[in-house]
Amino acid sequence: MGLKEKLHGIKEDFKGKKMAPAFNALHTFLYTPDETTHSGGHVRAVDDLKRTMNTVIMALIPVLIWGIFNTGYQHYSAVDAAQGVIREASLFGNFFTWDNFIMGAWTVLPLVIISYAVGLGVEFIFAVIKGHEVEEGYLVTGMLVPLIVPVDIPLWMLAVAVIFGVVIGKEVFGGTGMNILNPALTIRAFLFFAYPTWMSGDKVWVHGAKAAEGGADAISGETILGAYAQNSSVVYDFSDKFFGFIPGSIGETSTFLIILGGLFLMFTKIASWRIILSAIVGAAVMGLIFNGVVDQGWIGEGNTFYGLMSTPFWEHLVIGGIAFGIVYMATDPVSGSQTNTGKYWYGFLIGFFSIMIRVFNPAFPEGVFLAILLMNVFAPTIDHYVVQANVKKRMKRLKLKTA
């Protein structure tokens, strides 16, 4: 008797019992259940929730692998830099090395494991208490969470934040598919406001920097946004920024891989191209406005905002987490706008606000997570007005017809 039959047997044994959802979840995770729809006519499609989630995870794998190598790379290059050696990034020379991989995997994989163990644990508990099936909702969140935090975040903080995010961000609203806010971003927002010293500054982005703080072998690594916000220049050239040889949250550094993931998601129709496109346009518009202000000479070089305002608008899209946010977070179908017209507005405003928060608020070095959370809240409002506009249009047409 194979594993599959055994699981079916266990499922039958536990039917109607309290722990049934937990076993069913394991079962569905490994195999497609033998259940079929019982009645009525249905739209037939293969893309169920599980497949949707797995597609997003597939799009995230390259970013995760890059994040692992980059964690090691940033650590060793920061150690070199502390001794006065400036590294020139080369993909196979000093990036894809065993040292980098081991260092990175040792730091990043515990974050992934904690994120999944705690998050799925909460989902299991809620499913058992409420007596519904465990939903696949946490699969993507659990992968996103480790990718949007700094490498050295203590594991217990991550665990606390995941519990908070899953319970307050999702379960209180009724679980998967009912949440107003993106749970992964809720978790990040919680970490950001609860433990700001671990979420920003120039010590958290490189593994080991916080531990070595103040010592003889102190290292640091500032994100590019952090450097620009202080009007200082950065040593990275454009290809470093585009391909991701830069410090930052684990998953967001490589814009190149994020673009590939985004194309994959758009091609498989998981992510809405409308949101992605309009978010890029929104960010570019805000960036152009700021560039225009600088070009007009309205603010001088001494101005606090000069560094970020004078950053060319296309560079804004490459640095920081905005690309990651737009591709993987803003396109969350649950918390985003549902109507097509609404999606354009929703995406545009995300891009627009991201750059605005990034430039104007020195306390929030990266604004994209706040912008997406803000627009999550407004998404139903946008949808409401889109639907009302349509109703009004059709009423008018009806009146013309009957008049």
Partner 1 sequence: MALLSKKDRGLLLDPLADNNPITIQVLGICSALAITAQLKASIVMGLSVVFVLAMGNVVISLMRNIIPSKIRIIVQLVVVAALVIIVDQVLKAFAYELSKTLSVFVGLIITNCIIMGRFEAFALGNKPWRSFLDGIGNAAGYALILIIVGFFRELLGSGTLLGFKVLGDPITKTGLYAIGYENNGFMLLSPMALIVVGIIIWIQRSRNSALIEEN
- The rounded distance, in Å, linking the Cα atoms of 251 and 253 is 6
- The rounded distance, in Å, linking the Cα atoms of 120 and 136 is 9
Of residues 136 and 366, the one with the C-beta less far from partner 1:
366
Of residues 11 and 203, the one with the C-beta less far from partner 1:
203
Angle between helices 183-194 and 368-402 (to 10 degrees): 140
Instruction: Report the 10 Å Cβ neighbour count for 61.
Output: 12
- The rounded distance, in Å, linking the Cα atoms of 97 and 87 is 14
Kindly list the distances between the CA atom of residue 84 and the CA atoms of 87, 88, 93, 94, in Å, as whole numbers in the listed order: 10, 13, 19, 17
Q: Which of 49, 82, 105, 168 binds partner 1 (CB under 8 A)?
A: 168
Smallest gap from residue 348 Cβ to partner 1 (A): 27
Q: Which of 156, 267, 298, 385 binds partner 1 (CB under 8 A)?
A: 156
- The rounded distance, in Å, linking the Cα atoms of 77 and 94 is 9
- The rounded distance, in Å, linking the Cα atoms of 371 and 45 is 34
Smallest gap from residue 162 Cβ to partner 1 (A): 14
Of residues 164 and 243, the one with the C-beta less far from partner 1:
164
Q: State yes or no: residue 174 binds partner 1 (CB under 8 A).
A: no
Q: Which of 61, 102, 194, 389 binds partner 1 (CB under 8 A)?
A: 194
Q: Which of 138, 190, 305, 328 binds partner 1 (CB under 8 A)?
A: 190
**Would you state the structure tokens that stand for residue 371, as one six-digit string?**
């912008």
Residues contacting partner 1: total by CB under 8 A = 13
Smallest gap from residue 102 Cβ to partner 1 (A): 24
Q: State yes or no: residue 196 binds partner 1 (CB under 8 A).
A: yes
Amino acid at 293: V
Q: State yes or no: residue 290 binds partner 1 (CB under 8 A).
A: no
Please give the distance of CA 148 from its chain centroid, rounded to a whole number: 6
- The rounded distance, in Å, linking the Cα atoms of 295 and 282 is 20
Contacting range for partner 1; rule: CB under 8 A; set: 152-160, 214-222, 285-293, 360-368: 152-160
Contacting range for partner 1; rule: CB under 8 A; set: 68-76, 154-162, 381-389, 395-403: 154-162
Contacting range for partner 1; rule: CB under 8 A; set: 42-50, 156-164, 358-366, 368-376: 156-164
- The rounded distance, in Å, linking the Cα atoms of 160 and 250 is 19
Site for partner 1 in 197-216 (CB under 8 A): 197-198
Q: In residues, how long is the chain?
A: 403
Q: Which of 9, 110, 131, 154 binds partner 1 (CB under 8 A)?
A: 154
Contacting range for partner 1; rule: CB under 8 A; set: 79-87, 153-161, 375-383, 390-398: 153-161
CB 139 within 8 A of CB 53: yes
Residues near partner 1 (CB under 8 A): 154, 156-157, 160, 168, 172, 190, 193-198
